[in-house]
Amino acid sequence: SAVRCRPLVLAAALSAVIAALVSGVVVARLYRSKVGGFTGDALGCAVELGELLVLLALAAILPRIGGVP
């Protein structure tokens, strides 16, 4: 049997993806304006910041919707 996702769980996943994308754009703009381009450190920062925001978004949303089915 297929696992059906509730709409709120999909909304939580979508908010996590948006948080990761926003963090990538913010880091990219910051490094472009301050350093003039990307470095490996900038990419690492974007990855870590994106991961942190995804976890924070899910931690904030999932308890309110009753967790994951």
Q: What is the mean pLDDT of each run of 10 residues along the chain (69 residues)?
A: 62 81 86 85 84 83 69
Cβ(50)–Cβ(16) under 8 Å? no
Contact 65, 8 (CB under 8 A): yes
Please measure the distance between the N-terminal and C-terminal CA atoms of the chain and give it in whole angstroms: 14
Q: Dump pLDDT digits (tens) for 6-19.
A: 777 777 778 888 88
Say what the pTM is. 0.64
* Amino acid at the residue 7: P
Q: Are 31 and 54 in contact (CB under 8 A)?
A: no
